Structure 1
Amino acid sequence: MDCIDVCYKTVGSHPIYLNVYPPKDLIPGQRLPALIYFHGGGLTVGTRTSWFPTWLTTRLAASGIVFISAAYRLFPQATLHDIGDDVKDIFTFLSKKDLSFRAESGQLFGVDAERIGVAGTSAGGTCAYLAAIHAVPRPKAVLGIYAMLGNAFSAHVLTPKTAIFSRGRELLDPAKFAHLLYPGYLSDTTITTESELAYLPADSPTPGWPANPRMPLSRLYQQLGTMLDYCTGLHSPSLSASLRPLLAEYPAESDALALHDAVLASGLVPGDQHVIIPQFNISRDFPPTYLWHGALDTAVPCAESRVMGALLERAGVPVTLRVVEGVDHSFDYVPDAEERYGHYFDEMVQFLKTNLG
């Protein structure tokens, strides 16, 4: 597939890139609708090509829509404030009137900044939400695929875990990750925007386990109940710890909207942090949204999309929520995904085509 690497911003001396995939049947000089896609990885790991949604790129290519896969800064050195800045800067970059890309065929094409949608899987869904709230021009559509932080105040996010909780995977020893936990990571100011997936070889004592220590890092933040601390940079005192007592007052999933309202009213989340909490920024101006989630997701519970969907409905935003029964996280990457979920894939692309014009 034709892919164009483009630097959209530099932080210090560190360039951050987009991969731009033109559609088929280009007309020279044409300005086309586009979808910006944000990869998953718990905001701690991943690249522009990891967990790549081939089903989405191929359908968009046939529909005349440019697919753009974006890198962004990663935790722990970055916070959601930094990631939000990256997301906004993508839109600023793509809005340049003289910006054009050259396909392998030699044809030049551009992106119509008024016809851009956003999509993200897992942690990438958080980036898509931030784009929907803060990007200029505002995206025309949001596609959230088991999107993370649709509900930032759940027990899954805030509560320390003492038993296996995510996809049957073992609990982690924090001592082995001290350099990536607060305050250890503060001594390393390296900017990371691309962190490759890597696994231990077959002759290793633990074959197939992550060789990149960033890969289980998001799970460790969830295990410790400190994910919001890394989102905000508020570790001491811990924002997560300050919010935990509210969970006892609203323990059930059915209490999620009431808990949301209670957190907002409590003042425990400082005002300057509200901008990075997606659920604090829902209004009628939020773009039409399609949410897709597995009912048995243990990495990003389905309740995150249910809460986001309910908040969007409450604000009068057009929203579609599709819950797939009996499946956990990343279910669209199984070998027979096209057979199982092709009708959902078609529906999602039709949603994008309808809203991107």
Structure 2
Amino acid sequence: MNRTVHIYNPLQPPVELDLVASAPLEPTSPRPTFIFFHGGGLLSGSRRGRFPPLPVKLLLDRGWAVVVPDYRLLPEACIVDILDDLRQLEAWLVQSAVGVDMYRVVVGGSSAGSLVSILALSVWKTVKPRAFLSLWGMAQTEGEWYRRRRAESAVLGGIPASQLHEENVAHYLQPGRPHISADEADMKDPGSRASLFLWLLKQGQIGPLISDSVRAAIGTEAPLDLISSSYPPTVIVHGTADTVAPVTDSRALAAALQRVEVRVRLIEVDGADHGLAPQEKYRISFEEAIMAVEEFTGIHLPHPDRLI
């Protein structure tokens, strides 16, 4: 796997991305490109964490290039900052990306990365993705799921709620902390930013935190209000037993797209939790998703591992 690192938003510290392909990219033979936003509830995660998930690997194996950006994280940043990152990313793609076919782009992400994709599709002016791939995405952060308190007996993303304690994560909520755009801590670490997300979910506070920031940035706390007929055909994968972002989020996204007559394929994976782990168990569903992306975009590379 060939990976190059690039600064796309020259802040201090800078916001970076990885450009990944199965072999070095050449400007004379640009490849179809998947822009993949990582998950983490907008509070944690990074472009390197658990990369590549199986559907991204399937595209890499088919000869696609993959752009994996970091973006500034809440609560130190806000949605306005993420929107600025997305505009800077678009400028980098147009002006600086080498070996990327700007006419054959797909955008998507996992969990909160799907929400970031919705924001990107709403602010990009030049980059026009030909499909949107949403993996177990968060889409209704203003809804009741993200605002209700969980019992101590609940299990969130495989972590018992009884193990999530305010004293381990409260320092992340102190004002004045400098922004960060990457975090690779283990969710099982009780003091990690990932545990902060789960603790906020347990308390019913993650919804207000995200929704208030979304409303301040775009005038509505409902991300699905951004869906329009200009959105590209969309493929959605979600487990029906998701304990972090409910499958109803993806059903609502599919319904919103159908209302504006955008083609959509919703693939529900029976009994799967957040992240569909272990992903090899669900390979058939991921392969179905990639075939749907190829169908919607008309991009059919000759066979896996062959470069174009």
Counterpart residue type for residue 58 of structure 1: K
2: CA distance, partners of 1:326 / 1:198: 24
Q: Which moved more, 1:318-327 or 1:115-124?
A: 115-124
CA 1:100–1:214: 2 relative to 1, 3 Å: closer
2: CA distance, partners of 1:316 / 1:16: 36
2: CA distance, partners of 1:316 / 1:93: 31
Equivalence for 2:303? none
CA 1:54–1:123: 2 relative to 1, 3 Å: closer
Counterpart residue type for residue 50 of structure 2: W
Equivalence for 2:19? 20
Counterpart residue type for residue 232 of structure 2: P
Match of 2:170 among 178, 181, 184: 178
Structure 1 contact 122–145 (Cα < 8 Å) conserved: yes
SS at match of 1:74: coil
Structure 2 contact 161–202 (Cα < 8 Å) conserved: no
Q: Deviations over 1:257-299 (max 9, x none)?
A: xxxxxxxxxxxx679432x742011111111111101001011
Report the count of equivalent residues.
Answer: 294
- 1:329 maps onto 2:270 in alignment: no
Counterpart residue type for residue 67 of structure 1: V
2: CA distance, partners of 1:303 / 1:65: 31
Structure 1 contact 141–356 (Cα < 8 Å) conserved: no
Counterpart residue type for residue 80 of structure 1: I
**TM-score for both structures, normalised by structure 1:** 0.75
- The correspondence of residues 330-345 of structure 1 with structure 2, limited to 5 A, is 330-331=275-276, 333-334=277-278, 337-338=279-280, 340-345=281-286
CA 1:113–1:173: 2 relative to 1, 3 Å: same
Counterpart residue type for residue 223 of structure 1: K
1: CA distance, partners of 2:245 / 2:202: 13
| Distance apart, 1:142 and its partner CA | 0.8
Q: Deviations over 1:37-64 (max 9, x none)?
A: 1111111111211122353343223333
Structure 1 contact 197–212 (Cα < 8 Å) conserved: no
| Distance apart, 1:313 and its partner CA | 0.9
Counterpart residue type for residue 273 of structure 1: G
Structure 2 contact 33–100 (Cα < 8 Å) conserved: yes
| Distance apart, 1:84 and its partner CA | 2.4
2: CA distance, partners of 1:14 / 1:59: 32
Equivalence for 1:49? 48
Cα RMSD (Å): 2.5
2: CA distance, partners of 1:147 / 1:221: 18
- 1:146 maps onto 2:87 in alignment: no
1: CA distance, partners of 2:27 / 2:141: 45
Structure 1 contact 118–141 (Cα < 8 Å) conserved: yes
Equivalence for 1:2? 2
Equivalence for 2:104? 115
- The correspondence of residues 168-247 of structure 1 with structure 2, limited to 5 A, is 169-171=160-162, 172-181=164-173, 185-188=174-177, 190-198=178-186, 209-210=188-189, 212-233=191-212
- The correspondence of residues 296-307 of structure 1 with structure 2, limited to 5 A, is 296-307=241-252
Structure 1 contact 80–232 (Cα < 8 Å) conserved: no
Q: Deviations over 1:8-27 (max 9, x none)?
A: 1122x221111111245866
CA 1:178–1:342: 2 relative to 1, 3 Å: closer
Match of 1:273 among 219, 224, 227: 219
| Distance apart, 1:118 and its partner CA | 1.1
Structure 1 contact 232–273 (Cα < 8 Å) conserved: no
CA 1:36–1:295: 2 relative to 1, 3 Å: same
2: CA distance, partners of 1:214 / 1:53: 21
SS at match of 1:86: helix
Structure 1 contact 123–147 (Cα < 8 Å) conserved: yes
2: CA distance, partners of 1:272 / 1:55: 33
Structure 2 contact 169–195 (Cα < 8 Å) conserved: no
- 1:312 maps onto 2:257 in alignment: yes
CA 1:146–1:222: 2 relative to 1, 3 Å: same
Structure 1 contact 19–69 (Cα < 8 Å) conserved: yes
Structure 1 runs of 4+ with >6 Å offset: none
SS at match of 1:3: strand
Structure 1 contact 140–356 (Cα < 8 Å) conserved: no
SS at match of 2:160: coil
2: CA distance, partners of 1:311 / 1:119: 17
